[in-house]
Chains A and B, each alone.
Chain A
Amino acid sequence: MTKKYTKEHEWIELKGDVATVGITNYAQEQIGDVVFVELPEIGDSFSAGDNACVIESVKAASDIYAPISGEIVEVNEELEANSALVNEDAEGSAWIFKMKISDESELNDTLDEEAYKAIL
């Protein structure tokens, strides 16, 4: 499936019933140099819009929201050692977590690339 986006500047890529989530390139530019990513725990459950984790820059903390409801099945542990990866490859290797989703229809509320770019 193609990537979907949220107004909160996350991206979602669905494979089967597992969604990979990260922040957009625009978001990492706004946040600036990332110095720490507080990852969620495997097994955590979130509803769409819940605070799922926090990205810290030199100056400030930014909340990252679960774009869709589900349970965390994997987190990107590489970000613990190398948080700067978020600045280098936000929409690729710096994915943040994967969640098993409960209701695919929630994706209807997300944006396609064109619609996302239109809000920037």
Chain B
Amino acid sequence: MSELKKTPLYELHLELGAKMVEFTGYSMPVQYSLGVIKEHNHTRQKAGLFDVSHMGQAWLIGESQSKVANQLEKLLPAEIEGLASGKQQYSQLLNENGGVLDDLIVTKPAEERYNDRLYMVVNAGCKDADYALMSEKLNGVKVLRLEDRAQIALQGPKAVDCLAKIVSGVENMKFMTFKCFSYNEHELLISRSGYTGEDGYEISIPENIAIEFTKKLLEMEDVEPIGLGARDSLRLEAGLCLYGNDLNETISPIDAGLLWSIGKRRRTEGGFTGSEKILKQIKSGVDKKRVGLNIEGKMPCRAGTEIFVGDKKVGIITSGGFGPTVNRPVAMAYIDKEFSAIDTDVVLKVRNKEIIAKICKMPFSKKTYVR
């Protein structure tokens, strides 16, 4: 086995007593001393700090933002050209069949010095392929990966107060906006965003000050380090897709219920990889839908669990586990469209047992974004 990669915060994780596991080729903290449930609850109640340095940050640099945006729109279905300055957009890289190669966030910086570029963050497991694809397909665009930067997420209702103590001004940002800040003459790239369903921030930090900066936040009473275990239960309760589970190359953003992330202009114009399929799905509908499951009892039903109505297999769970905030099992699934209506009764088969469930809306726990 090849040696695992380490993030700039690796030594800090060890110092904090994290339990480390392999995740997409990196040695990452799955939990710290609090344990998954307390870490999850702490994030919902106060502020949780996550190392997300394994994710792929890059500048896409060209003659102008609009030229880069124009090129990028060849590969994804979101409105990038019309994205307002200083704002972020969630989108997906697609294949020819409209399947999702990765999901990502594109940002249009408002800073004058960055008027020739967009900032991107993609999933760790896909980053090499994503940026290779962009380098190949985007004319006149240089992909500059930010491998000398760490990235942390600070999430939860106290995130704003805690971060504002050391980076003044972040409190004025709105959800899905981006701004550059100076911290002891080092540049921080900060967005008010995250993947827990809570208010919070994602902060890109030069690696040489990453531990020092992170420790400043961890010294605050309201901030605890949070591992991948709670990151997964938080995003699942929030009804957010995990690439590799709920999104993959055989699932389109329309199947996944992500039509909201597709630009209005682009729904008619097309002009992106996979647009033929996507536009057809928008017009005539999909065969399967992504739904939540309200599961009876306390047994968690995991990814891969088959869903039945009578003897007919009608779907499969793609993410499932236990939701500490709602204190019961939570799962999301893909299900044949005719059985996807809210409150439809279904049966889950887990280890020769039949578990009763109902199709439900997501999120399972309420989102608290500051818009």
Contacts and interface: CB of A to CB of B under 8 A. Distances in A.
B300 interface: yes
B298 to A, nearest CB: 5
B35 A33 contact: yes
B71 interface: no
A61 interface: yes
A36 interface: yes
Q: In terms of DSSP, what is the predominant structure of the interface of chain B? A: mixed
A47 interface: no
Given A58-B40, A58-B321, A58-B324, A36 B300 contact: yes
B88 interface: no
Interface string A16-47: 00000000000000001101101000000000
A61 B30 CA distance: 16
A38 B299 contact: yes
A100 B331 CA distance: 38
B318 to A, nearest CB: 15
Q: Which of A54, A56, A58, A60 has the most CB of B within 10 A?
A: A58
A120 to B, nearest CB: 15
A35 B298 contact: yes
A54 B351 contact: yes
B36 A36 contact: no
B337 interface: no
Given A54-B351, A58-B322, A59-B321, A32 B36 contact: yes
B229 A35 contact: no
A58 B37 CA distance: 8
A58 B299 contact: no
Nearest to B37: A33
A33 B300 contact: no
Interface in A43-86: 54, 56-61, 83
Contacts of A33: 35-38
Given A35-B322, A36-B322, A57 B36 contact: yes
B233 interface: yes
Contacts of A59: 30, 36, 229, 232-233, 321
A86 to B, nearest CB: 12
A59 B232 CA distance: 8
A116 B30 CA distance: 26
A58 B302 contact: no
Nearest to B299: A36
Contacts of A36: 298-300, 322, 329
B31 interface: yes
Given A38-B299, A59-B36, A61-B300, A32 B31 contact: yes
Interface string B311-330: 00000000001101000010
Nearest to A83: B298
A20 to B, nearest CB: 24
Contact of B322 (A38, A54, A56): A56
B57 to A, nearest CB: 27
A87 B31 CA distance: 15
A55 to B, nearest CB: 11
Given A56-B322, A58-B40, A58-B229, A35 B351 contact: no
Interface in B226-259: 229-230, 232-233
Interface of B: 30-31, 35-38, 40, 229-230, 232-233, 298-300, 302, 321-322, 324, 329, 351, 353
6 contacts: A35-B37, A36-B299, A38-B353, A58-B40, A59-B30, A59-B321
Given A35-B300, A58-B40, A58-B233, 10 more contacts: A32-B229, A33-B36, A33-B38, A35-B298, A38-B299, A58-B321, A59-B36, A59-B229, A61-B300, A83-B298
